[in-house]
Chain A
Amino acid sequence: MAGSSSSSAPGGSTDYAPPRKMGRMLAVLIVLLVATNAVTAVTVYYVTAPTTAVVQTLRVIGPWAGPEKAKFLPVLNLFHNQTGINYEYITTRQEDLQSLLPNWFAAGRAPADLIFMPSSFIKTYGVQGHATDLASTITQSNYAAGALDPLKDGSKLYGGAYTGKVKPGFWYNKSFFTANNLQAPTTFAGFEALLADIETRGLVTNQPIISGDGVGWPLSDVVEHFIATYGGPSMHRALTAGTLSWTDPTVRNIFATYLVPTLTKRDVCVNGCWSAPRQWDTGVTEWWAGDYALYFMGSWITGMVPNPADIGVFSLPGGVSTQGIVFAADYFFVPKYATQLDSAKRLAAFLGSAAAQTEQVKVGGHIATVTGVPSSAYPPLDASIAALLTGKEVLSDLDDTKGGTFQTTFWAQLQALWAAPSTLDTVLANIEAAA
């Protein structure tokens, strides 16, 4: 081949040089590349070009799937009927959105026009300028006192509260309690006696209480309940605000006096009163099947058992005179980069109205955050759960409010406490370090 040195002897004494035709081939390649790209571009342009008028659709991202989604869609349908605005609902886990949304925001875009996220996330990114100020959109006077506080920064309001769930205490199967002649306790000593009794009589195949697990949040709900009951709302709020140390003797005392004895083996229960943390949703089945007697969980559990009429609940007994109860609201916000900003604001205002929340509570499993929702709208079971709030101060979920790395540290450290209750001081020190 002309100009080629490919016939060089083995050993490489003569260097390789490409044939002269290589330049021609390169030119052909470039022409082909340009041509195919041009064809592709023209094709894509015509394929994606709208042939009819574009229908504006409001995109909503929420965490609910399956039955929970089915219960939420009627609310969006009501909004559509009232406004004529089309919507598209997409289910995405909030844990995933925690990672994804910052990247969208950095690019000046958002995957939806209205997104449900924890309050800590909304406030953090709202302050950074990624959420729309809804102070003039949402009627704040509609809400119960303090319901919007986690979303506020001065006069700005970065989101709204939708309905929520309450985390009232320990759920039990009424038939199981009746069959075994068990009573809901009225004192902490009675609570310990109940646990010991369940274990001694071998009424369940495992520990008396099942500990839920997922990424760790169920244990944080348990601990918050102990704090709200025996430390009171002021302690809960101070820990949330970071004005009280987790290693403070008053806080440590709650753990050491009430929680740790029930966790420790050969104390209240020989094998410990709490199981090792188990996947929380399959845990519902195990608990309902009688493998465990009690389950600390939020009010959404009523929608997960075959016979909700047979479910009972009691809060930790005793405690300080003014107690708190954690109410976990579902929060939403409108990203600054929403493409349907006006429609999204209208939906935000709607979700913060009594009309929307009445529609939601009707289907069960939700408690309203706005005033004006008639008690008759609640199914009987939810009405009794809502009644648990009476006489107690409503508290925001501690770890959801703080968010960030505190939340995951809190979960991981509580798992460590469950594994080794004797490490209480180390656990509290680690939580404090992340607070």
Chain B
Amino acid sequence: MRRARTGRARRPRSFYSTSVVRVLFFVPATVLLIILVVYPVLQTLALSFLGPGSGAFVGLDNYGNVLGSTETIDLRDTQFPLGTLIDNLLWIAIHLPMTLFTGLFLALTLQKVRGASIVKSMVFLGMVTPLIVGGIILRYLFDEKSGIVPQLFGALGVKSLAIQWTQYPSTLLFGLIFGSVWLWTGFSLIIYSAGLTTIPKDYFEAAQIDGASSWQMFRKITWPLLRPITLVVVTMTVLWELKIFDIVYAATNPNGGVGNAADVLALQMWRYAFRAGNYAEAAVVATLLTGLTLLVASFMFHRMVVGMRGGGKRPSLLARVLRIVRRRP
């Protein structure tokens, strides 16, 4: 029998004890979140509005300084450096599709291959390699004398690329982006591999009977059904690219390499805080990073919770969990 929801007097006695239990279960996590997340975030936000030296309220001055700085956005010409924000966007524009499609391609290719788990494990090694080590590996990968990349281009007769990639602004950022694809491809490979196992084989069998080609089956069955997986891969990869720090720091220097050519937001934030002692402007960069991260995270959250509601589709797991949480006894 459905419980009445009108009037407090009609609620059963167990309502209050149940509510108290629920609140009690939330308390530890909430307290920790407030202390370790909410409070520092609010403090950082407040700091970003204070003068670096004076500590007085300066409004949006710090934001103007950071966003107006050529260190953040430098579009005076098309040469590197282009600024930390642009560099981060370039990471997303180049690194995201490369890792996503490489992972998807490998997952599809290795789907029915004997010993595929060994190959997957090898690709996944990049994921378990500390990024600081990955950065150092990149430094040597692009070394003029011992690096495999310049040596390869030298052997191919491309002299303009048979150079020390990390010492030229025109090659540095691209070198880091291309070179770090292997570090993250394991993620999309594993997630896509898991996603592929959830697609019923009947769909493919029916399509085959109807005479669909492999490409048509991929386009009409595999790709649409992998959409939730793609959403996760895209979101996690973009977050990874926004907070990229270790690779750039290890492969270059605290300024993002030759002429700041590979500088990124996280490195800029670190430099402001710990090299210049300018915590206010570091807080501005941190706030920008948090804002961008929230933007991406909220997009994913929205798609997961709301995007699946219409069209008679089954709600996502998260949507179902939230529905249970929102219910009143």
Contact = CB atoms under 8 A, between A and B. Distances in A.
B179 interface: no
B167 A408 contact: no
B327 interface: yes
A415 B22 CA distance: 60
Contacts of B17: 20, 23
Contact of A404 (B1, B143, B168, B275): B275
Given A411-B253, A419-B258, A98 B274 contact: yes
Interface stretch (A10-18, A136-144, A306-314, A373-381): A10-18
A408 B254 contact: yes
A418 B2 contact: no
Nearest to B276: A405
Contacts of B168: 276, 419
Interface in B238-282: 253-261, 270-277
A: contact size bracket: 35 or more
A409 B81 CA distance: 13
A427 B271 CA distance: 20
Contacts of B272: 405
B78 interface: no
Given A15-B327, A404-B275, A419-B167, A412 B14 contact: no
B259 A416 contact: yes
Interface residues of B, number: 40
Nearest to A125: B277
Contacts of B3: 14-15
B141 interface: no
Contacts of A54: none
B228 interface: no
Contacts of A408: 253-255, 271, 275
A12 B253 contact: no
A420 interface: yes
Interface string A401-423: 00011011101110110111000
Given A216-B253, A408-B255, A408-B275, A276 B18 contact: no
A44 interface: no
Nearest to B263: A412
Nearest to B275: A405
A315 interface: no
B87 interface: no
A412 B259 contact: yes
A411 B255 contact: yes
Contact of B323 (A12, A213, A409, A411): A12
Contacts of A241: none
Given A16-B327, A415-B259, A276 B163 contact: yes
Which among A411, A415, A430 has the greatest number of chain B C-beta atoms within 10 A? A415
B160 to A, nearest CB: 13
A412 B323 contact: no
Given A405-B276, A415-B259, A23 B327 contact: no
Contacts of B143: 278
B199 interface: no
A407 B254 CA distance: 10
A130 B111 CA distance: 61
B10 interface: no
B322 interface: no
A416 B324 contact: no
A415 B144 CA distance: 16
B32 to A, nearest CB: 14
Contact of A412 (B260, B270, B276, B329): B260
Given A15-B327, A17-B14, A408-B275, A413 B259 contact: yes
B21 interface: yes
B62 interface: no
A34 interface: no
Contacts of B14: 3, 17, 20
B328 interface: yes
Interface in B275-318: 275-277
Interface in A272-289: 276-279
Contacts of A430: 259
B149 to A, nearest CB: 14
A26 interface: yes
Interface string A14-41: 1111101011001000000000000000
B21 A23 contact: yes
B144 A276 contact: yes
A102 interface: yes
Contacts of B270: 99
Nearest to B13: A3
Interface string B1-31: 1110000000000100110011011000000
B169 interface: yes
A124 B21 CA distance: 53
B276 A404 contact: yes
B164 interface: yes
Contacts of B260: 409, 412
A430 B263 CA distance: 15
Contacts of B256: 412
Contacts of A193: none
Contacts of B328: 15
B167 A418 contact: yes
Given A14-B2, A15-B327, A412 B271 contact: no
8 contacts: A12-B327, A17-B329, A404-B275, A405-B276, A408-B253, A408-B275, A412-B253, A419-B259
Given A26-B25, A405-B272, 4 more contacts: A13-B2, A16-B329, A404-B275, A411-B253
Interface of A: 3, 5, 12-18, 20, 22-23, 26, 95, 98-99, 102, 124, 213-216, 276-279, 404-405, 407-409, 411-413, 415-416, 418-420, 427, 430
Those 8 A-B pairs whose CB atoms lie nearest each other, nearest first: A416-B259, A412-B255, A415-B258, A215-B253, A99-B274, A276-B167, A408-B255, A276-B164
